[in-house]
Amino acid sequence: MCRPRVTLEGMTATAARTAVTASPGASPGSTQTRPWPEPGIVDVLAAASRLAGLVERTPVESYAELDRVTGASVLVKHENLQRTGAFKARGALNLLLTLDEAVRRTGVVAYSTGNHAQGVAYAARHTGTRCTIVMPQGPNPVKERAVRDLGAEVVLHGATFDDARVYAEQLAGRSGARLVGAANEPAIVAGVGTLYLETFLQAPGLDVLVVPVGGGSGAAAAALVAAAVAPGVEVVAVQSAASPAAHDSFHAGELVARPNASLAEGLATGTGFALTQQMMRGRLTDFVLVTDEEIADAQRLYLTAAHTVAEGAGAAALAAVVGQRERYAGRRVGVICTGGNASAAELRRCLDV
C-alpha cells in the first residue's frame, strides 16, 4: 500500500489540521466508524516547541555488526535513552501540557503495561497533576517501580492490558478524572511525532523506517511525519505474532480483537485502536509480524553488537529487518529502539540463561 506523496509546502488545510489540545480520552478499541480528528504536521511542530528542554534529543547511531548481519546500512534511533527509558514521555507530556488547570486539579487516569504509564506519571509530576495508573497484575517490576517513584498511584487489576483499560475507564467515570488513552489521543500522536522529526533530521536519506506497534501511536506519527517531510521514505510497522491485533486490524480494514499473548509487553494489545488505525491506513507501506523468539534474538543482538539494552518492543523493528534480509539488504534503514525498560527476567530469557 502506497502512502500519499505530500510535501510540507503543499499540505492542505485538512492534512495540516488546527492544533490539537485536550481532546477527550475516548475508549480505545471503539468500533465507531466516524472519522477521528487527526493531528497534522502543524501539531507536531507545535509539540516540538512545547517539549523543548523537557525531552532528550536522543542519538541516532550505526553499528558495523548490525550492518553485517542485515546486509543493510542500519541507523538506530535510541529512544531507549529517552527520559523514562522510552518514547512515550513525548506524547504524554504534550497531552498534559495542553490540559487546562481544572482538568489537572481533577487528575488523570491512565492504563498501561508500563511505558505509557511511566510517560504519563512523568508528565503528571512535571505539570503537578494528580495521577492514577492502572496496570495488569504482575507487571514488569522495573516499570512498576518507576511509575511509583514518579509519584503516581498504581492500581493493579486484571491479567491483560485490556482488563486494565476497562477498569481505568470505570475509575475515570466514577472520579471525573481525565482518561488518558494509550493511542486514541491526537495530542499524544503529535508529541510522538517529534521523535520522527528528529530522526529525519539526524538520518537524512533513509530508504525505509521500521517502527514497532502496540497501540500504534509510533507508527501513526511516523507515517504522518514521513508524508510531510520525507515522502519518499517507506514506513513499515511491526508487531508480535503473539499479539497481532493492530496488524490484523490494519490488513482487515476494520478494528478486530485478537489473542494477546506476547511477552513483549509494549506490543501486547488485544484490539486495534481507532485513531491510529485510521492514520496508518493509506500511509504505511506495509505492516508485518515477527515472533517473540525473533524479538528475543534481536534484543541479544542489541546487547552484543550495539552494547545497548532494548526491551522486547524496542527490539521488534530490528527483528523485522534481520528476519527479512532480502527486503532490506543494500538499503539505508532506520530502526526505532523505542524503549529499554527490560526486567532482569526478560534479559535472562533473551540470553538463554
pLDDT tens-place string over residues 150-192: 999 999 999 988 899 999 999 999 999 999 998 999 999 999 9
Q: What is the pLDDT of residue 42?
A: 98
Q: What is the pLDDT of residue 7?
A: 28
* Mean per-residue pLDDT of the chain: 90
pLDDT-derived band at 26 (thresholds 50, 70, 90) equals: very low
Q: What is the pLDDT of residue 10?
A: 29
User: CATH number of the domain at 41-86+185-350, out of 3.30.460.10, 1.25.10.10, 3.40.50.300, 3.40.50.1100?
Assistant: 3.40.50.1100
Regarding predicted confidence, which is higher, 163 or 4?
163
* Angle subtended at Cα 25 by Cα 23 and Cα 31, rounded to the nearest 5 degrees: 110
Chain Cα centroid distance, residue 83: 14
Q: What is the pLDDT of residue 17?
A: 34
Q: How many CA atoms lie within 13 A of 194 on its CB side?
A: 28
Q: What is the pLDDT of residue 182?
A: 85
Q: What is the pLDDT of residue 113?
A: 84
Q: What is the mean pLDDT of residues 260-286?
A: 95
Q: 133-154, pLDDT tens digit by residue?
A: 999 999 989 899 999 999 999 9
For every residue of 283-294, DSSP letters joined together read T-SEEEEE-HHH
Q: What is the pLDDT of residue 161?
A: 85
Cell numbers for 115 = 511505558
**Measured over all CA atoms, what is the biggest interatomic distance in the chain, rounded to whole angstroms?**
55
What does each C-alpha distance from 195 to 109, 134, 167, 189, 286 come to in angstroms?
25, 26, 30, 10, 20
Regarding predicted confidence, which is higher, 102 or 21?
102
Q: How many CA atoms lie within 13 A of 192 on its CB side?
A: 32
Q: 74-131, pLDDT tens digit by residue?
A: 999 999 999 999 999 999 999 999 999 999 999 999 999 889 999 999 999 999 999 9
Q: What is the pLDDT of residue 208?
A: 98
Our separate counts of H helices and E strands in the chain read 15, 10
- Asked whether the predicted pLDDT for residue 30 surpasses 90, the reply is no
Share of the chain above pLDDT 70, in %: 90
User: How many angstroms separate the CA atoms of 326 and 284, rounded?
Assistant: 20
Q: Measuring CA to CA, which residue among 44, 73, 46, 48 is closest to residue 61?
A: 73
Q: What is the mean pLDDT of residues 14-39?
A: 48
Numbered ranges of CATH 3.40.50.1100 in the chain: 41-86+185-350, 88-180
176 CB-contact burial (10 Å; exposed 0-12 / middle 13-18 / buried 19+): exposed
**SS3 at position 154:** strand
Q: What is the pLDDT of residue 162?
A: 86
Q: What is the pLDDT of residue 353?
A: 52
Assigned CATH topology for domain 88-180:
Rossmann fold (3.40.50)
CB atoms within 10 A of CB 254: 12
pLDDT-derived band at 34 (thresholds 50, 70, 90) equals: low
- Asked whether the predicted pLDDT for residue 278 surpasses 90, the reply is yes
207 CB-contact burial (10 Å; exposed 0-12 / middle 13-18 / buried 19+): middle
User: How many angstroms separate the CA atoms of 12 and 256, rounded?
Assistant: 31
Q: 223-242, pLDDT tens digit by residue?
A: 999 999 999 999 999 999 99
